[in-house]
Amino acid sequence: MSHHAFCGLSGEHLGALVAELAPRWEARCESGRRDRRGGRRVREAGAGPKYGLVFVDRLLVTLVHLRTGLTHEALGVIYEVGSSTIGRSIGEIRPLLAARGFAVPDRPGVRLRTLEDVFAYAEAEQVTLRIDGMETQVRRPQAGRPGRRAFVSGKRKQNTIKTTTISDGQGRTLFSGAERPGRMHDQTALRTEGIAEQFHRHPGVRAEVDDGYRGLANEFPRQISAPPKKPKGFAADDGPLTEQYGWREAKRRQSSARICVEHANAEHRQWRPLQRFTGRREAYGETHRAVAALVSDRAARRATKTQTSKELVLARTTVL
């Protein structure tokens, strides 16, 4: 099950993850045992009942479940344990994965865990952010439950949970979260999470967005770039050709600048629970952050591409 086709990670990445999370898992288990005992350990370490799955197996079970969506019962058959053991293992490891934060390109060991971290990093490194929303289909709430319509997305006509993704100019995930019901508008979800406030606190941060955040671009015209509005007074095939071509070219350039965040969302979609989440809606946020952190690890390992200049220069000087 350690093959990348099942767990979604390379051998090197998996080894680094084991070394990172094993001490945290052991400390958490020891803290729980101390709380249950009400004091210090009486017997020597290693005494008592043994775990049905060691830590590495528990991590692999969680990764395979997140990558492929295999049920607890199926994983229990593979590891020859009960489905309840699989459920407890996932419940222990998934919070550790979700709390890791997001990797920073070319900065090994540095993690971004909050929006304040992301905007401080973008301002310090002069990174232009790309912001976009992402919707995942979830189970429909029971009939008669208050707030049932809040999950119905006006765009997809399904029950969804909406998240916000922030990436750099090469599609590497810097933040993904801010879970909100699918009926909420992208811009409202962004403001509710406090992302708009971060632009006030960090005036040097720039961002590229789509049409859904036009109101935010109007509020921060020097910081946020949205697609240009269609000129008034002419339809798609009407009006001066120069204005049509100019508007289309400006829209194409802006779309080309922000398409990398769509690629970041596509990397998240490679993990089965973010294609269609069948668990409890309360657990979606933790699952999404766990997957996004793993995706950011892989993306941060990609080499930084050098952007060539597009400035026009004279090939040779003409002497008159």
Q: Which of 23-37, 156-170, 213-227 has the lowest mean pLDDT?
A: 23-37
Residue range 289-302, pLDDT digits in tens? 999 999 999 998 88
DSSP string for residues in the chain: --SHHHHSS-HHHHHHHHHHHHHHHHHHHHHHHHHHHTSS--SPTT-SPPPSS-HHHHHHHHHHHHHH---HHHHHHHHTS-HHHHHHHHHHHHHHHHTT-EE-TT-TT-EE-SHHHHHHHHHHHTPPEEEEEEEEE-PPPPTT-TTGGGGB-TTTSSBEEEEEEEE-TTS-EEEEEEEEETTS-HHHHHHHHTHHHHHHH-TT--EE--GGGHHHHHHSTTTEE-PPPPPTT--TT-S-HHHHHHHHHHHHHHHHHHHHHHHHHHHHHTSGGGTB--S-GGGHHHHHHHHHHHHHHHHHTSPPPPPPP-----SSPPP-
Tell me the range of 148-157, 242-251, 284-293 where mean pLDDT is highest: 284-293
Identify the pLDDT of residue 319. Answer: 54
At residue 143 the predicted structure's pLDDT band, cuts being 50, 70 and 90, is confident
pTM: 0.86
Residue range 41-62, pLDDT digits in tens? 777 766 666 677 889 999 999 9
Give me the mean pLDDT over the 122-142 stretch. Answer: 91
